Structure formats: C-alpha cells, structure tokens
Amino acid sequence: MQVSNSPAYDPSGRKCRIIEIAVDRTRYAIETPELSKLLLYGRRCQVRHLSHYYGKRLGDATGAAALSYSKKGIILEIFPGRRYIASRNSVQNLLGGYMSYTKISELRPDNSTVHSCNNPTIQSSITPWVAV
C-alpha cells in the first residue's frame, strides 16, 4: 500500500488523489477522501481496480474497505473473498505524509476450527451404554 505519485482519473474524467494497493500482481486503488472518511467516521469505502491505460485510470469497484472490530486495523475485502488487513496507525501516517508505503497482510481462515467438509466441528462426549 503506497501513496500514488501521480493523480488518477475516475470514470467521469475527474482527477483524484489515490492510495495504491498491490496484491497478487494486480493493482487496486482507494481515493484518499474516502479513506479519510473511513478513518474519521468509520464509513465503508470502495476499493477500485487501477489500470495504466494512458495514465492511471480507476475502474469498477472490486471490493470494500472497513474498520476492524477493534478499530485498530483496516480490513480490505477484495472480491471474490480475499481479505487483507493494514494497521490503522500506519494508514493514518501514510495519508499524513509521514510514510511513503506500508505493508498489508492477508487474512486466512483458521483451518483448525474448520472440518474437511467446511463445517465447524462439533465435539461431544459419547458414552457407551451396556444393557444388563
């Protein structure tokens, strides 16, 4: 995740300042006014596809960004079902100009609580009864 060095154009042709996100050889972007509203008010914002066709162009919405439950991180949900997290403090420093980039981490479901059939395991004690 890094601050873009040049403005991008949205679908209506308006210039906007963006934060670039590079994951899995694909580039995404979040507009900085939306990201600052997310940090201040907790509103969800859109993650858009970023292309480099005659300059940086914002494409369709490919995900959403929201605050975590503890409000210490920003969760990026990029469709179809990929989830990433970044520290809220590092994103605030990124917007403030104190940092030029920050790392994000992928969130994966815990495999120990998921059964091979993708159902949570239910363990109960079964005691054998013997008829006398």
73 falls within a domain:
yes
Tell me the whole-structure pTM to 2 decimals.
0.78
| Side chain identity, residue 16 | C
118 falls within a domain:
no
127 falls within a domain:
no
50 falls within a domain:
yes
59 falls within a domain:
yes
123 falls within a domain:
no
47 falls within a domain:
yes
pLDDT tens digits for 31-63? 999 999 999 999 899 999 999 888 899 999 999
**How far apart are the C-alpha atoms of 68 and 17, rounded to whole Å?**
24
pLDDT computed for residue 32 by the predictor: 94
Total count of domains within the chain: 1
Residue 24 belongs to domain spanning: 2-106
111 falls within a domain:
no
CB 90 within 8 A of CB 72: no
Q: Which tokens belong to 67?
A: 């605050």
